[in-house]
Amino acid sequence: MKHIQLKIYLTLLCLMGALGAFAQQIPQSVEEAKNIVKDRKLRISGGVNASQIFYGANGIESRRNPYAYFLTGNINFSMFQMSIPLTFTFTNQVFNYNYQLPTFDFNQFGIQPSWKWIKIYAGYNTMSFSPYTLNGALFLGGGVELTPPPGKVKIEAMYGRLRKPQAFDPLADNTAEQAPFAYRRMGYGTKITWKPKGTASQHQSGIESQFNKDGGNKKQKKGSKGSFFSEQDQFEFIVFGAHDDPGSVPPPPDSVDVKPEDNLVLSLRLIKSIGKRLTLRAEVAGSALTQDTRIETKDEEVKNLFFLTDGAYTRRTSTAYYNAYKGDLTYNAGIFNIGVGYERVDPEYRTLGGYYFNNDLENMTVNFSTQLFRNRLSIATNVGTQRNNLNNDQLATLRRVSAAVNVNVVPSPAVNVNLSYSNFQSLTQVRSQFEQINQLTAFDNLGDSLNLTQIAQNANLNANFNLVATAQQQQALNVNVAYQQADNEQGGTTLPGTTFYQLTSAYNIAWTKLEMSASLAFNYNQNIAESLDTRMLGPTLTLNKSLFKRQLTLVVSASFNQAFTNGAQTNQVMNGRLGIGYTVMQKHRFSFNAIYLNQETQTEQTSAFSEFTGTLNYSYSF
């Protein structure tokens, strides 16, 4: 009952806030009212897209439906100084339940009307409050964003269905046909942002060059004296909650281990400038997660911050509490930045407002970046450590040390070279179950752990060369080389590792007057393991041609790749693509794309097969 009351209160709060915001936007003068009335003509802009996909396979099982259609659109209605965008997606595509995707509709619609500093969400939408609270989860419902002038306060709120109910199907023959069982999940949340100095330009995490466009030194901006706050300062308070409805579906059998959950998350974030050079960013989040709401026994013993929410959130004996902390301190010296960062996420930390969370980790990092020679040379480095098993209750503990450097060089407008290198060293300490069982004290068997050291090195080179740049012709060359080495060491003995090489090069040429371009690319991959050496290589040729004043476009592409294992050829793959597009009156676009793939094999483990995919598409923009 408390959950229902809280949702009703939040919904009314959102509605009252929206109505109050609209009320404050009532024209304050006759001239302002006239301007609104003059804007009474309905304007419609946007576009719709309809696609039909045809598929066929020979030699293997079909990897998708033989026919599928997709209808998408983005339409915006404008009048009376109000903007009302509408988005929708419809398809008959059936997705395999083996992926265990969250249960939600693939046929969706959403609308986001806005007027001045008011924006409303309705239908299917996503909102993100922070990485540890509501983080991009799709919901069906409503939301609001209010940023009244002068922009010191911003209010965001949402309420809706995060997951639709899915009952257990006793007639399903196997797991692939059985949709994942789920209760209906409803969510709500509010985010309040306060900027003491009002709306200002967004703070950039990267460094700013000390030079202006002419190459001279920039004049340093003087900060406001006598004020504790700066334009970059920002404070956020977040409340998010979600609740599963046990009565939304019939009770599942005991073999289905899915329990109705209840979640409440509190978070505080801040960005604070300290003097002219230092910037502090931090977030502290706490998640109370009830793992089974059917257990009605209340928890009266645990004392933490969530006792303040007892009027809205029921703490039970099945409720677990998790914390997440993240912060970094950056010093901006003009020509370089240096900073330190710390992050800790409790084991099993998660909320019902996201699909995936990294947890059971502790990170400590030091970073440095600079730009020299009028931005022609950029250097960024990062060194850090990471460990898991924060509660020391797992059999394995992983400790990682990482170092990375990125260098970007622009010696001339025609050449751009990027170099990057990273080194990751991890130490895994493994204890056997017998060691845990037979251990008498916490100090027994400290030297008997099975230690495994892993070292991974990554290097990458990417270079772009503009060879010719005239009014008649452009030529460019791109080269990318990647290298990866992974080694293992256990008890002083080096174990077999892996080595990976990749080379990708592409030569592009375009003839401006002929409205034609061509690209020749070559790809090479090699992976060397203990007794296995696999390689794949082959060229790709692509031709583009425009006709009838670019109303008709043609694209033809062909590639031939060969695969080898320990020097012996295993298969070869031929791939052909054809694309035709025709534009009518600059608004209607008809296109057809066909892809044919044929794989021949020289081994008995894999069979030869071929696939064809054709896509017929129509788009209309207005």
Dihedral-angle region of residue 590 (phi above 0 means left; psi in -120 to 50 means alpha; beta otherwise): beta
Of the pLDDT bands very low, low, confident and very high (cuts 50, 70, 90), residue 296 is: confident
More confident residue, 162 or 230: 162
Average pLDDT for 593-611: 85
Average pLDDT for 196-212: 50
On the question of pLDDT at 337 being above 80, the answer is: yes
Average pLDDT for 321-349: 94
The predicted-structure confidence for 173-186, as pLDDT tens digits, reads as follows 665 556 788 899 99
- State residue 203's pLDDT score: 39
Of the pLDDT bands very low, low, confident and very high (cuts 50, 70, 90), residue 299 is: confident
The predicted-structure confidence for 481-526, as pLDDT tens digits, reads as follows 999 988 776 655 666 778 999 999 999 999 999 999 999 999 999 9
- State residue 541's pLDDT score: 96
Cβ proximity of 474 and 511 under 8 Å = no
The predicted-structure confidence for 83-126, as pLDDT tens digits, reads as follows 778 888 888 765 444 344 444 566 778 888 888 888 999 988 88
Pick from 305-309, 401-405, 482-486, 614-618: least confident: 305-309
CA distance 290 to 244: 10
Cβ proximity of 114 and 81 under 8 Å = no
| Cα 497 to chain centroid, rounded | 31
- Select the highest-mean-pLDDT range: 2-16, 187-201, 353-367, 421-435: 353-367
Q: Which residue is listed with tokens 């080694």?
A: 487
More confident residue, 214 or 34: 34
Q: Which of 351, 286, 354 is nearest to 139 (CA)?
A: 354
The predicted-structure confidence for 47-78, as pLDDT tens digits, reads as follows 999 999 999 999 888 888 888 888 988 888 88
Cβ proximity of 91 and 70 under 8 Å = yes
pLDDT over 90 percentage in the chain: 47
- State residue 2's pLDDT score: 47
- State residue 210's pLDDT score: 42
Of the pLDDT bands very low, low, confident and very high (cuts 50, 70, 90), residue 36 is: low
Burial 130-145 (b: 16+ CB within 10 A, else e): bbbbbbebbbbbbbbb
CA distance 500 to 459: 11
The predicted-structure confidence for 272-283, as pLDDT tens digits, reads as follows 999 889 999 999
On the question of pLDDT at 162 being above 90, the answer is: yes
- State residue 215's pLDDT score: 37
- State residue 12's pLDDT score: 43
On the question of pLDDT at 309 being above 70, the answer is: yes
- State residue 187's pLDDT score: 95
- State residue 410's pLDDT score: 95
Average pLDDT taken over every residue of the chain? 82
What is the DSSP pairing of strand 361-372 with strand 377-387? antiparallel
Average pLDDT for 325-350: 94
On the question of pLDDT at 4 being above 50, the answer is: no
On the question of pLDDT at 462 being above 70, the answer is: yes
DSSP state of 277: T
- State residue 408's pLDDT score: 97
- State residue 27's pLDDT score: 55
CA distance 375 to 207: 11
Q: Which of 423, 492, 421 is nearest to 453 (CA)?
A: 492
CA distance 179 to 172: 9
Q: Which residue is listed with tokens 């794989």?
A: 599
Pick from 48-57, 103-112, 316-325, 366-375: least confident: 103-112
The predicted-structure confidence for 12-31, as pLDDT tens digits, reads as follows 444 444 444 444 445 556 66
More confident residue, 485 or 203: 485
* Concatenated DSSP letters of 415-476: EEEEEEEEEEEEEEEE--HHHHHH--STTTTTT--EEEEEEEEEEEEEEEEEEEE-SSEEEE
Q: E strand or H helix at 267, and its extent? A: strand 262-274
Length of the chain: 622
More confident residue, 3 or 292: 292
